[in-house]
Amino acid sequence: MENYIVSARKYRPATFDSVVGQRALTTTLKNAIATGKLAHAYLFCGPRGVGKTTCARIFAKTINCMSPTPDGEACNQCESCTAFNEQRSYNIHELDAASNNSVDDIRQLVEQVRIPPQIGRYKVYIIDEVHMLSASAFNAFLKTLEEPPRHAIFILATTEKHKILPTILSRCQIYDFNRISTEDTVAHLAYVASKEGISAEPEALNVIALKADGGMRDALSIFDQVVSFTGGHISYQSVIENLNVLDYEYYFRLTEHFLANQVSDALLLLNDVLNKGFDANHFITGLSSHFRDLLVSKDPATLPLLEVGASIRERYQAQAQKCPLPFLYRAMKLCNDCDLNYRASKNKRLLVELTLIQVAQLTAENDDVSGGRSPKQVIKPISSQPASVQQAQATAGTTPSSPAQQTAASQKVSTPSQSQQTNPQAAQRPIPNTVLMAQGKEEKKIPVMKMGGLGISIKRPQGDEGQKQMPEATAEQRNAQQPEEDFIFNEKDVNYYWQEYAGRLPKEQVALAKRMQVIHLTMTDAVTFEVVVENDIAAKEFIELTPTLQDYLRKRLKNSKATMKVRISAPNEKVRAYSRVEKFQMMAQKNSALLQLKDEFGLEFY
């Protein structure tokens, strides 16, 4: 029985023209060979299975060909081409850097480079997976790679360009290989199927190409696997069954259930998918891709982005006309959120089912699907009683405070509204201070009270009757009559907001932020705080920032009289942060027993 050769090796390209999906790179290499402008080092980088090593072999074979063709290809008849085809050429050396990544391996390679070729003009060294070399091996290779002998050419191939040292990259001509498009992969698979006498449906080859994700080697491996499963006739149904791929039909049916707002049918379809062994995460990512394909199918300008077969393309166009754009926007958003939260979810099936329910309800009546935004979080009232009645019920059973506090609280919380005008008795009911304290988010500082504001006139009682006789003033008039009061602050408050300002500085001002973080402000009087710095440069910088810092601290401290001053420290004054050793020395000056404790236990500072 003849030895079987997999399609990836049997149909490996032997010429530049037979390389699939890399037309720009192969044309550049052919022109360089034709004009004789060859570099001493090349770097081929890109995803797996796109032709990096294949192009390196074709390039090495072509530059050593004794009689190349007019279009820049190797003749395959001379001694050099024959030796290469029979894998006995001494001019082309391949090294696997994954298993030969030490300094000794590179030194052995450098010694071989010195020997000139016996047949042909160049000795070509192809180093595959070059990113696996150690840092020491890279450094040992630098000088040879920069100035090799005239007969030596290096071709480095890698899938992870970012792992290669910049000193290596700067010495090479870099060629970035692209992923092979779905159309090119399908065309090449059809060519291989015709050569092997295998019948294949275009939709089946399209599924194989999508599964390969831009790699021709992966596509040919999957092709061989499907051929062994089907026995020579590749159909769409056999491919999705063998590769465990979800059929497009599931997603088309599920979308019809969504458009008809059929939640139960959608959940039953999900159960059918899970019973067939498919992963729920794989299902939800496929649903996201389906909604994306429907979106690009609505506009003829974006139709080329749809990478499916011709018959399925028509189904996408037909269903896309039934789906409103807002529905597609929000459905994609919900599916994407489900995909992001899938790994962290404890009940993964429930998460997917909730997503399907939300998508199905997008088409329900009275549902706002404008703009593709997230659903509004609306909290509906539990009972239909008016707010004033519920407030009166909530305050019943609590101990009311003094009338003055009740009046002040009611003026702070309630505003004139239509509900209060219709029910004035409920509006006049006091609200206890416990409710106000629960609503407050921030502890209010103590205001500086004026003595005149504490007096109460006997002639004008501040009860409800006195409030009724006074005309209602507008908000602007009240603000004008009652100016904003300044709050008392201390040194702890100033330092807190000083550090807060330092933490909000952008990354470009990281030096200023670090300097501010080690400064401790001191209070010189009730409203003045002092910034002590070490030198004139720092003092000039903080003096320029004084208006900005002072305004920020005044707003945060709620005191319009807060004043910032900058001072340079005296020679005997220490303003920088103390280290651990310095702190211990200062403490030991106050208590000599610490030195004895350190010596007894042999303590050290780190």
- Show the tokens assigned to 415: 């505003």
Which residues touch 545 (CB under 8 Å, ≥6 apart)?
none
- Looking at residue 244, its pLDDT comes to 74
Nearest Cα residue to 293 out of 206, 400, 405, 165 = 206
Q: Are strands 233-234 and 199-200 parallel, antiparallel or unpaired?
A: parallel
Per DSSP, the three-state class of 44 is strand
> What are the b/e assignments for 562-594, b being 16+ CB within 10 Å?
bebebeeeeeeeebeeeeeeeebeeeeeeeeee
For residue range 225-284, what is the model confidence (pLDDT) as tens digits?
888 888 878 888 888 888 877 788 889 999 999 998 889 999 999 998 898 888 888 889
Is-contact 148 40, C-beta < 8 A? yes
Which residues touch 27 (CB under 8 Å, ≥6 apart)?
16
Distance of alpha carbon 391 from alpha carbon 298, whole angstroms: 53
Q: What is the 3-state secondary structure (H, E, C) of 363-398?
A: HCCCCCCHHHCCCCCCCCCCCCCCHHHHHHHHHCCC
Please identify every stretch of the chain with a pLDDT value under 50, giving residue numbers as ranges: 1, 366, 368-373, 375, 377-384, 386-444, 446, 448-476, 479-480, 482
- Show the tokens assigned to 28: 């550049």
Q: What is the DSSP letter of 302?
A: G
* Alpha-helical segments (H) within 428-534: 433-439, 464-469, 475-481, 491-503, 510-517
- Looking at residue 291, its pLDDT comes to 92
- Show the tokens assigned to 24: 């720009």
Distance of alpha carbon 524 from alpha carbon 521, whole angstroms: 10
Specify the long-range contacts of residues 171-176, CB closer than 8 Å, at least 24 apart: 171/41, 171/142, 171/145, 171/146, 172/39, 172/41, 172/42, 172/43, 172/145, 173/39, 173/41, 173/42, 173/43, 174/43, 174/45, 175/25, 175/28, 175/29, 175/42, 175/43, 175/44, 175/45, 176/45, 176/46
Is-contact 308 206, C-beta < 8 A? yes
Matching residue, tokens 């000794």:
104
**Amino acid letter for position 324:** P
- Is the pTM higher than 0.85? The answer reads no
Please give the domain boundaries of the chain with CATH numbers for all domains.
Answer: 7-176 (3.40.50.300), 182-242 (1.10.8.60), 248-372 (1.20.272.10), 491-568 (3.30.300)
Q: Give the bridge partners for 186, in sequence order.
A: none
Distance of alpha carbon 122 from alpha carbon 39, whole angstroms: 12
